[in-house]
Structure 1
Amino acid sequence: MRFKVSLLGLLLFVSMVPAALAAENIQLDFNGKLAETSAKPVNKDGSVYVPIRVVEEIEGLTISSWDNATKSLTIAQSGTDAALTLKVGEKTAQKGSQTIGMSQPAQVINNRVMVPLRFVAEAFDADVAWNPDSKTVYVAKTTEQQKKSLHSGDLTAARLAALNLPRISSLPDLDFSGDSLGTWSIYFPEGEYKSFFSISNQVISYYRITDNAAQLIWEAALALDAKQSKESTFYAKGIFKEQGTRPEIKTNLVFYDISTHAGQAQYGRIHTDGTVEQLGTKEMNNLDELFPIEEENAGVSPLRLEGTSGVK
């Protein structure tokens, strides 16, 4: 439901405020989709401000009201009683009976009422990441059904949910374009879904999973003579360019090598000493056909894949 306000009252209010700031070319990514806005976002005092309607791009959120007398707006979350009330110029917000402090208040900027995007998103438990290289704000918030799949207790369903989460990143662009080989590889810690590696076009990416997003932690380019070797992929041979913190591997990995041309996936296990154990081949045309690896030990202890202190 779109909010209904006194348009005349809102216009009269903002016309009395002379604030003017240069808008930046900031991109807004909501669950993997770039949003178009009626006014450009503004980076002010370390916060990215957006027009109030933009918050409706966040999964499940709507602007339910604007009160011109008190200069306040209320944001509601569908399917719940959760509502957040902000007042222009005040550094506190109200969510139910809870008063929440704000580092920056809602403001009138360039004759528009604008709100700090990170504060609003995080107030409704969304994940937010700022990428200074691309000047992109990533906002990720999944549905309750997606969260149920992630925590279902079914390892394959949880992995599929993890792979389908929105991707967010604070890392600079790797600035590398590799060869397309018609294959895509996925690697999970054995018995786990809380992180994964993905290899495509000679680029290896490592993601950690939250309830809302797959966050890019590390990314690297692979040398041409190393792209077919799983040992070189995970033990640094052939890596010649990287961004972020390279993870240290402390458990076996299971893998799916997916061929889009053949419509099948080879699968197996990589041991911590680099030994590759090929387990078989099954039909697989897309991610929705992800299958359980019967030989996998699903009873291993929780995540043992940790970040090192720095990139080696």
Structure 2
Amino acid sequence: MLARHRLLHPDLLEEERVLDYVLTGSWSKAAVQEARRLVGKARVNIALDAREHSADGKSFDNIPPHSAYTFSQDPAMIYYCENETVSGTQFAHDETLPESFPFELLPKDTLLPLVADYSSSFMSRPIPRLADHAIIYAGAQKNLGPAGLTIVIVRQDCIVDVDAAAALGATPVPTGLSYKTFAEGKSMPNTPPVFAVYVTGLVLKRSKELGGTRYYEEVNRRKKEKVYEIVEEGERKGVLKGHVKKGSGSWMNVVFVVLGEGAEAKFLKGAEQRGMKGLKGHRSVGGIRVSLYNAITEEQVDKLVAYIREFIQQEPGIPPTLPSETL
């Protein structure tokens, strides 16, 4: 995107080029750190830091309202991560909600330099404003197939000559990472990960037969509603506590805490005894993380919800002292 911006604005100094980043969780934080390593003299602008809108000032537990964003005038790139797996936050799918991505704040009647990381939510529901994006990328390993394959959607004007841009002073881009290289090689400039491509093809074929993203949108909506409802039930009894504010919760990763000394270990042990594994939250957040990717069936979700309800009924609970604002 810096190469594209250099070709569009050859007389602009590198110090005057800006990349806007929307910071809502661990993955967008990592993207910011990498950008600061790689963009040379260009400036990284934090258009939003969700931590500033959290209760403690340091947690990724919310998607702030549109009024909180500060975009640059003519950025080389605007980056956001659609779903944050670690903290369990995600932009709302309904554009009328304050937790949605603020597309209306972006310039009109222009080719936006909008880049989105959809690694953990690709194919789980339709992508809002798909045509407004310059680049959308996603790892296949969540909803499409085995690890080792990346899906990249690149708008035609972003397939630029990186060497021509470098000659004008842009940061050099390795040939193997140039979109032009992949476009000219029909996505196969080198030997592709054949097995991952094959399995992903099978998954896409099956997805199309089922109805595509509209089908998964409805199924995933029901799945996440069931889990959030039982977490709310656990909150009312003082057994559970959701990690994120209401309206900011992820469809793919529901994060919550089991309250009480030793209660989390007891919860995980009981889940494992019932054949449910991988529920322990990320080490940076802790607690419980329920992943609801496309491969997880409603029947499996119902089994988990039944166990959580059983656990809630058996635990004494800790009476809440303040009204809940989670989920």
- Alignment TM class, shorter chain as reference: under 0.3
Q: Which has the higher contact order (CA 8 A, sep 6+)?
A: 2
Structure label with greater radius of gyration: 1
More strand by share: 1
Q: Taking structure 2 as the reference length, what is the TM-score of the superposition?
A: 0.25
TM-score normalised according to structure 1 size: 0.26
- The structure carrying a bigger helix percent of its residues is 2
